[in-house]
Amino acid sequence: MEANVSLIMPVYNGERYLSEAIQSVLSQTLQNFELMIWNDGSEDASLDIALGYARHDSRVRVISEKHQGIAASFNAAVAQASGSYIGCIDSDDLLVPTTLEETKLVLETHSEFGLVYTDYIVIDERGRERKYGGRCTIPYSKEKLLENFMTFHFRLFRKEAFEQIGGIDESLEYAVDYDLCLKLSEITDFVHLAKPLYHYRSHADNVSHQKRDQQSVCAAEALSEAKRRRGVYEDLSQSFQFVDASQSKVKSLRFHWSPTKQLYACDDIFFKGQGLPPTEDM
């Protein structure tokens, strides 16, 4: 029987936590799914680990390509997905056993929604719970998504909706999730399932720790494009507070957007913005 849920797991040199992530998917109460492990040119043992699982479980598909980045990989993976519902799990994170069953049920019983998102728990390197996700209490609206990225993890959405938006912008390598949600919010309604069905692992090797400057610039560009699509051109200059971790100081940053996609970021490399939605949890 063809799976109607496709779960995409991009991996690039993620051998450390990959087995745990895969096991959390294979332990789902929903049995009818495909796990698409997209190996993005890993140079460690990630591919071997993934292939080992694929040999023992027919629900696991492994696609291995040269390194092209998460944005291009995600677009390609969705295009090859057989399911009508699409989800994504990072190769260092975990699903709770009922994640797919509960989110799929929401979309199956509420045709008016194109995306369901859940709450999440932040865990440490050893999988110990640190805190409830800081974004979980922020109410969702299409307009508020321009101010804060509350639709963080986990998300399940309809493949037809993804095809309608034409995929994600591959130039926004470090704001893939935000660009996806902004675009989908413009064509369909979202629903919040207020259960902690995702474990987001915070550790020193996270892209969100290593690429915070690029993340914030990409998020600003995704936001600028969303405003352009929505015809929002007024008040396109915003200020943000950020923490300079190297000097333990709070600094300010000002972005200027124009309808022609010009983006200027001033005043040092920045980390967690107060208004700009970064991809790392607060």
Question: What tens digit of pLDDT does each residue of 95-116 get?
Answer: 999 999 999 999 999 999 999 9
Whole-prediction pTM: 0.82
Measured distance CA(175)–CA(152) in Å, rounded: 12
Ranges of the chain with pLDDT below 50: 236-280, 282
pLDDT for position 208: 53
Mean pLDDT (the chain, rounded): 85
pLDDT for position 215: 85
Measured distance CA(153)–CA(120) in Å, rounded: 6
pLDDT digits (tens, 9 = 90+) for 149-190: 999 899 999 999 999 999 999 999 889 999 999 999 999 999
pLDDT for position 85: 99
Give the CATH architecture of domain 5-201: Alpha-Beta Complex (3.90)
pLDDT for position 1: 57
Indicate the length of the chain as a whole number: 282
Residue with tokens 């610039």: 217
Which token pair is 27? 């332990």
Provide the residue ranges of all domains of the chain, joining segments of one domain with +.
5-201, 211-265
Which token pair is 140? 């969702």
